[in-house]
Amino acid sequence: MARILLTGGAGYIASHTAVALVERGHHVVLLDNFANSERDVPDRLRRLTGKLFPVIEADIRDVKAVTDAMQAFPVDGVIHFAALKAVGESEADPLLYYDMNIVGTIRLFEAMQQANVRRLVFSSSATVYGQPDHSPILEDAPTRVNNIYGRTKLVMEDLIRDLARTGKLLSAASLRYFNPVGAHPSAMIGETPSGVPNNLMPYITQVATGERPHLNVFGNDYDTPDGTGVRDYIHVMDLAHAHALAVEHIIAQDVSLTVNLGTGVGISVLELVHAFERATGRKIPLNIAPRRPGDVTSYYANPAMAEAILGWKAKLNVDDMCRDAWRWQAKRAGINDV
């Protein structure tokens, strides 16, 4: 049983990870500045799990506040989720992204050193592969980022490797997520994009509630079986479970790893829409729109390393993802017949 601090602990993936950690008997401390999360998330987590979560409201760039938090709640390791994550915004405001993501991570690591916390799990992203030469993608595929958000992830991965190599971190796991979707089946926690969603699944669910008239399909002339972009969607509960296994691994052993977290299944935009319609009985009107600049055609993971090292494999399928994403969005929209 370990005590783990989650930076960005009230966010989408962290809140689900908190549930997975508690279910495996661990203690969880949440640290967040609530820049992109709702303040009642810790309370919802308490109702969902029956456990109290210490909450520290702080910015990861505030070394003193984060050090104090880790001294008040001595932890065995940190899972570092806190970051800005919008690709378009990163291109519009590079300094903001370098500051929040890279400077923020350096400040967090300073606090960890001061508090002598030396085990880390880090939220990386499959975006570091850019457009890969082929899928499924293995972890040793070349990295080639084409936006500033992706570059911040690569820089942070390198920083973590250097800290592990030089013994400043005893162990670290960089987890390269593919496309997280869905929500806890209780519909008590989920994803809350602000404004118009950038990502496909939240957009689909908002069309289904009637908040948006149709889904714009960004390009149907890609070199894929139905012409639309292919991604590896992964249920956030599967992803959360992987974090619990990763944290147990890096606490048990002084080894570091960089690992893909995906299902290994590529799904096109139209396939996801059809799966959603099947799983929910809701029709999604479509509008074929131009390609979105910067989009890659297709990518999906080879998740074998995660299975070999962590004993983890995604269990939930696309129908589960659609059903749970819909339950969450429908509840927020006050639709009860789901």
Find which of ligand NAD, ligand UDP, none residue 277 binds, CB within 5 to 8 Å per kind: none
To the nearest whole angstrom, how small is the minimum distance from the Cβ of residue 270 to ligand NAD? Answer: 20
To the nearest whole angstrom, how small is the minimum distance from the Cβ of residue 98 to ligand NAD? Answer: 12
Residue 243 host element (H or E) = helix 236-252
Beta bridge partners, 6, equal: 30, 79
Classify each residue of 13-52 as buried b or exposed e, where b means 16 or more C-beta atoms within 10 Å of its C-beta.
Answer: bbbbbbbbbbeeebbbbbbbbeebbeeebbebbeebbeee
* Cα dihedral sign, 34-35-36-38: positive
Residue 93-132 contact track with ligand NAD, rule CB under 6 A, x = bound = -------x---x------------------x-x-------
Gap between the Cα atoms of 316 and 323, Å rounded: 11
Find which of ligand UDP, ligand NAD, none residue 203 binds, CB within 5 to 8 Å per kind: ligand UDP
Q: Which stretch binds ligand NAD (CB under 6 A): 77-85, 132-140, 225-233, 249-257?
A: 77-85
* Cα dihedral sign, 100-106-108-111: negative
Which of 12, 97, 129, 149 does the annotation list as catalytic? 149
Quick count: other Cβ atoms within 10 Å of Cβ 299? 24
Quick count: other Cβ atoms within 10 Å of Cβ 57? 13
Six token digits for residue 174? 């960089």
Q: Site residues for ligand NAD, window 46-75 (CB under 6 A)?
A: 59-61
To the nearest whole angstrom, how small is the minimum distance from the Cβ of residue 125 to ligand NAD? Answer: 4
Q: Examine the residue annotation and report whether 149 is marked as an active-site residue of this protein.
A: yes
Asked if 247 and 2 touch (Cβ cutoff 8 Å), the reply is: yes
The verdict on 273 binding ligand NAD (CB under 6 A) reads no
Kindly tell me which residue out of 231, 241, 243, 249 binds ligand UDP, with binding defined by CB under 6 A.
231
Select 68 or 295, whichever has its Cβ closest to ligand UDP: 295
Kindly tell me which residue out of 113, 295, 317, 338 binds ligand UDP, with binding defined by CB under 6 A.
295
Residue 173-202 contact track with ligand UDP, rule CB under 6 A, x = bound = ------x------------------xxx--
Phi-psi category of residue 325: left, alpha or beta, with phi > 0 → left and psi -120 to 50 → alpha: alpha
CA distances from residue 29 to 51, 72, 182 in whole angstroms, order as listed: 11, 11, 23
Select 29 or 181, whichever has its Cβ closest to ligand UDP: 181
Q: Collapse the DSSP code of 156 into the 3-class scheme (helix H, G, I; strand E, B; otherwise coil) and give the result.
A: helix
Select 109 or 149, whichever has its Cβ closest to ligand UDP: 149
Select 109 or 203, whichever has its Cβ closest to ligand UDP: 203
Q: Which residues are catalytic?
A: 149
Interacting residues toward ligand NAD by CB under 6 A: 7-8, 10-14, 32-37, 59-61, 81-83, 85, 100, 104, 123, 125, 177, 180
